[in-house]
Amino acid sequence: MPRLLPESLERVRRGIQDAALGLFVTQGYTATTTRQIAAATGLTVGALYKHYPNKEALFAAVATGYQKRLARDEENNPLLAVIQKTRFPDDLRELAFAIRELISNNKSYWLLWYIDVLEFGSKHFQQRLAPESLVGSPALDRRFEELRKEGRFRVDPKLAFVMVYMHLFNYFLVESVFSAKQHYGVSEEEAVDAIIDVFLRGMLNE
């Protein structure tokens, strides 16, 4: 195979990864063959193996590549902008609907995650689960420290953030990826308001 310039090599590999992603999330990992991936990208199987030694290596590259795009692309990951100007916990509604957009805009990513759980025991996603990539951000770290000094929380602010983030994340994951609309029995707006109210004020009337 002729030696490609770095830009051309990246373009070819991105095309392979995009084709593989589409096949993985529609057919599943096991049912997808390297021959199908090669055909979808106009390559021979031999040429495909020049880029990735086996199907699992390609799967890992797809997962890593998608994660890197989410980490720097505010259009597909609106959480980035919310986190940079965080006012946690006073911006929980903004956080909630940024999570909704993140999940809705990237259904293939979450399906890929579930494929990894089923096929590889989360081998390729275990270091990429939300909100691991967020809680170490400088903006959040500064906010957590401010809240610790203010003494507003009965638990550590970082733990509180992770708890409410994961609750909202799982709510929208079920709503969007599993198409279980209104699975709380109320609209998204009502569900989000209730989740936030419970986290901020508790369930019981005092």
DSSP 44-103: -HHHHHHH-SSHHHHHHHHHHHHHHHHHH-TTT-THHHHHHT--TTTTHHHHHHHHHHHH
Burial class (CB in 10 A: 0-12, 13-18, 19+), 133: middle
Residue 114's pLDDT band (cuts 50, 70, 90): very high
Residue 8's pLDDT band (cuts 50, 70, 90): confident
Q: What is the pTM of this model?
A: 0.87
The Cβ of residue 43 has, within 10 Å, a number of other Cβ atoms equal to: 20
Model confidence at 111: pLDDT above 70: yes
Matching residue, tokens 């940079």: 84
Model confidence at 140: pLDDT above 80: yes
Residue 127: what pLDDT? 57
Determine the angle formed by the axes of helices 157-176 and 188-201, rounding to 10 degrees.
160
The phi, psi pair for 83, rounded to 5°, reads: -65, -40
Judge if 1-72 and 73-206 fold alike in CATH terms: yes
Residue 144's pLDDT band (cuts 50, 70, 90): very high
Question: Which listed CATH number (3.40.50.720, 1.10.357.10, 3.20.20.70, 3.20.20.100) goes with 1-72?
Answer: 1.10.357.10
Tell me how far apart the alpha carbons of residues 180 and 145 are, in angstroms, rounded to a whole number: 37
Model confidence at 132: pLDDT above 90: no
Residue 69: what pLDDT? 84
Domain boundaries, the chain: 1-72, 73-206
Percent of the chain with pLDDT over 70: 91
Question: Which listed CATH number (1.10.357, 1.10.150, 1.10.8, 1.20.120) goes with 73-206?
Answer: 1.10.357
Tell me how far apart the alpha carbons of residues 38 and 45 are, in angstroms, rounded to a whole number: 6
